[in-house]
Amino acid sequence: MTGDSVMQFGNFNIGMVKSQGPVDQRAAHEQMIDAVLAIRAHVPEPDRAVIDDSLSILDTDGPVDRGRFRQALGAIGGIAALLGATGAPVIESIGNVMEAFGLS
């Protein structure tokens, strides 16, 4: 049997906290880059250009302005959201990156 097992007690429970993403910044970052590259071929050319521009900000070893980093994540997350279930792994990995880098 796989999946979540949930036991609920009391009133006013509003959800589950799931912190199963990578804690390590490097692992979270690499997972996100892989997920973004996986959806790149599934989007129209204008969206690919946005992904490429955003990846140039996100996929660097040097220092990056936190504001630009967050904007790049938002741009890619918006494109991923338009893809529905196909983009879900990207959205999840962006959340992991934001958590790992303290941006959430």
Per-residue pLDDT of the chain (104 residues; tens, 9 = 90+): 445 556 666 666 666 655 554 468 899 999 999 999 999 999 999 999 999 999 999 988 777 789 999 999 999 999 999 999 999 999 999 999 999 888 87
In a domain, 44, yes or no: yes
In this structure, is residue 14 part of a structural domain?
Answer: no
Residue 54, domain member (yes or no): yes
In a domain, 1, yes or no: no
Evaluate whether residue 79 is within a structural domain.
Answer: yes
Would you list the DSSP string of the chain? --S------SS---------S--SHHHHHHHHHHHHHHHHTTS-HHHHHHHHHHHHHHS-SS---HHHHHHHHHHHHHHHHHTGGGGHHHHHHHHHHHHHTT--
Q: Is residue 89 part of a domain?
A: yes
Domain count of the fold of the chain? 1
Range of the domain at 80: 25-101
0.85 cut: is pTM over it? no
In a domain, 8, yes or no: no
